[in-house]
């Protein structure tokens, strides 16, 4: 029974430490400007979906309060052009360049902890000074960046 408890303890500790090891790998990848490895560490489609959802939310809460034909046309136009812009502008090289401006990653991490068992949040920079928030999600027993805010 002691050995089983020890194995369970080691498995839990490995799980808890795994996102921090991911941050270390991310730090080294960004420092080396390694796009191939960086593309393995991110889920670009999830990042694009998050940006599109943010655009839709902003449209609904800025233009959405008005109920006339012009507002509806503006909402639809912004939604279409926003989706096109996200699909063309959000690429791994752009995200890598954005995160390289925050390098070295280890020095700029001001918060890194679990939001849920499958979601881990990293904050780069101080609150009030336009920090970057990175959301990592556990996908197929591997951590990947699924959203970037800021």
pLDDT tens by residue, 85-113: 666 677 777 888 888 887 788 888 999 99
107-146 burial, b for 16+ CB within 10 Å, e for fewer?
Answer: ebbeebeeeeeeebbbbbbeeeeebbebbbbbeeeebbbb
Rounded distance between C-alpha atoms, residue 25 and residue 38, angstroms:
9
Domain count, the chain: 1
Find residue 133's DSSP bridge partners.
Answer: 123, 149
Render pLDDT for 8-44 as a digit per residue (tens, 0 to 9). Answer: 999 999 999 999 999 999 999 988 888 888 888 888 8
Range of the domain at 50: 2-149
- Asked if 150 and 131 touch (Cβ cutoff 8 Å), the reply is yes
pTM assigned to the model: 0.78
């Amino acid at each position: 029974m002691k050995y089983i408890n020890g194995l369970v303890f080691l498995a839990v500790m490995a799980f808890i430490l795994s996102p921090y090891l991911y941050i270390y790998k991310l730090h080294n990848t960004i420092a080396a400007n390694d796009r191939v490895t960086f593309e393995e560490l991110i889920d670009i489609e999830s990042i694009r979906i998050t940006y599109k959802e943010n655009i839709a939310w902003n449209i609904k809460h800025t233009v959405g309060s008005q109920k006339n034909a012009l507002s509806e046309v503006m909402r639809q136009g912004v939604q279409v052009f926003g989706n096109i812009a996200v699909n063309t502008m959000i690429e791994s090289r752009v995200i890598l360049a954005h995160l390289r401006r925050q390098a070295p990653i280890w020095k700029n991490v001001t918060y890194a902890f679990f939001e849920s068992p499958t979601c881990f949040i990293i904050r780069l920079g101080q609150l009030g000074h336009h920090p970057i928030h990175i959301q990592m999600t556990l996908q197929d027993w591997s951590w990947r960046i699924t959203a970037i805010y800021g």
